[in-house]
Amino acid sequence: MPNIGHGGRGVHMNKLRRIVFNVALYITIVGIIAIVLFLMILFVMKLNVSALSGGSDKPICVVIDPGHGGEDGGAVSESGIVEKNINLSISMCLKDYFEMSGIDVIMTRADDRLLGEGSTVGEKLHNDFPKRLELYNSSDADFVVSIHQNKFTSPEEHGAQVFYGPADIGSERLARCIKRSLNGLLQPDNEREITKAGSNIYLLNNCANPCVLVECGFLSNPKEAQQLDTYEYQRQMAFSIYCGAMEYISNSKADTASPAKNSLHVITDH
Ligand SMILES: [Zn+2]
């Protein structure tokens, strides 16, 4: 009998080997492509992140300052929403986004407290700003983002506003990037222009690094206060600020300053 059976099994084995070989080849090619793509993404991220430090290997470092804390609650809404808690929540989200991008973060506080020490609340408050300013002016920091909530006598006022420090030209560019991102991602109708910090905003006025203060919204507006009190909106707010900051990092030659228009002068709680 011709050995049909064995010959048939041989053909099957050859086919099987070919299939196994093709699958292995396919997996190898896909694997190589995935690794190359991953390395390219890492390279692009590294380029972005090192843009501010002139291409050096030093990672970008951001100071995030959740305003107030501890005995100093900041502004309070009519329904009892306290500013310090919203500031901290938005700041912690912001910290996550930056760290996911390989950016170092210095938090002025990561829990509910004042930085100043003392035996009385007055002493703690008195010693708080110098401690924060020390971190603002940290030599490692590339820029500072301070998070606050606004309050005004009229309950109609609403929308975020970005203030910037006068010392470094980068402050205004950073503010403009964050403002643009807030408009694009969260508040398309917000016409509040970026504003140079008045002398009443001590930290911004005494900060040598590029620095901004984002008043995320008005606790005096019941609707906006309620919105600011939700974790979902806090994350959206943090993401918008993060995207603006990333644009600032990526494009160190960002737009040059133009005079602020339609500036609505608001009272800040600092
Ligand atoms: Zn505040």
66: β partners:
147
Q: How far is the CA of 192 from the centre of ligand 1 (A)?
A: 18
Q: Are residues 237 and 150 in the same domain?
A: yes
**Residue 166 CB neighbour total at 10 angstroms:** 17
Instruction: Check whether 98 has a pLDDT greater than 70.
Output: yes
- Tell me how far the alpha carbon of residue 48 lies from the centroid of ligand 1, in angstroms: 31
For residue 88, which amino acid is it?
L
pTM beyond 0.85, yes or no: no
**What's the gap in Å between 129 CA and the centre of ligand 1?**
13
Q: How far is CA 125 from the centre of its chain?
A: 26
Burial class of residue 122, CB neighbours in 10 A (0-12, 13-18, 19+): exposed
Given a cut of 60, whether residue 269 has pLDDT beyond it is no
146 C-alpha to ligand 1 centroid (Å): 9
74 assigned to some structural domain = yes
* 57: CB partners within 8 A, 6+ apart: 50
Number of domains in the chain: 2
For residue 20, report the distance from its CA to the centre of ligand 1, in Å.
Answer: 65
Look at residue 24 in the predicted model and tell me its pLDDT. 77
The answer on 183 and 65 residing in a single domain is yes
Task: Work out the end-to-end distance of the chain between its first and last CA atoms, rounded to an integer number of angstroms.
Answer: 101
Confidence bin at 37 (pLDDT 50/70/90): low
Same structural domain, 132 and 31: no
197 and 232 in a single domain? The answer is yes
Residue 257 lies in a domain: no
My answer on whether 23 and 131 are in the same domain is no
Using an 8 Å Cβ cutoff, are 113 and 183 in contact?
A: no
d(C-alpha 28, C-alpha 139), whole Å = 46
Distance in Å, CA 253 to ligand 1 centroid: 31
pLDDT digits (tens, 9 = 90+) for 208-251: 999 999 999 999 999 999 999 999 999 999 999 999 999 999 97
pLDDT of residue 104: 97
How close is the Cα of 168 to the center of ligand 1, in Å? 22
Residue 260 CA to ligand 1 center (angstroms) comes to: 23
Residues 6+ apart with CB under 8 A from 180: 244, 247
User: Buried b / exposed e across 40-74, counting CB within 10 Å, b at 16+?
Assistant: eeeeeeeebbbbbeeeeeebbbbbbbbbbbbbbeb
Give the CATH number of the domain where residue 171 resides: 3.40.630.40
Looking at 53-57, 119-123, 172-176, 265-269, which range is the least confident one? 265-269
What's the confidence (pLDDT) of residue 4? 46
* Residue 67 Cα to ligand 1 middle (Å): 5
Residue 151 has pLDDT above 70, yes or no: yes
Cα of 270 to ligand 1 centre, how many Å?
Answer: 6
Q: Are residues 6 and 114 in the same domain?
A: no
Burial (CB count <10 Å: 0-12, 13-18, 19+), residue 4? exposed
Span from the CA of 194 to the centroid of ligand 1 (angstroms) = 17
Ligand 1 centroid distance, CA of 35 (Å) = 46
102: containing domain: 56-250
Q: Is residue 258 part of a domain?
A: no
Output the CA 101–ligand 1 centroid distance in Å: 27
pLDDT number for residue 266? 40
Chain Cα centroid distance, residue 118: 32
Q: How many whole angstroms from 71 Cα to the centroid of ligand 1?
A: 13
Residue 80, pLDDT above cutoff 90? yes
Distance from the CA of 139 to the center of ligand 1, in angstroms?
25
Q: Is 147 helix (H, G, I), strand (E, B) or coil?
A: strand
- Ligand 1 centroid–CA 151 distance in Å is 9
- Is residue 262 included in any domain, yes or no? no
Is the same domain home to 44 and 118?
no
Whole-number average pLDDT of the chain: 86
pLDDT at 257: 40
In this structure, the answer to whether residues 78 and 110 fall within a common structural domain is yes
Give Cβ neighbours of residue 181 (< 8 Å, ≥ 6 apart). Answer: 240, 241, 243, 244, 247
The pLDDT assigned to 47 comes to 55
The pLDDT of residue 161: 98
Same domain, 103 and 29: no
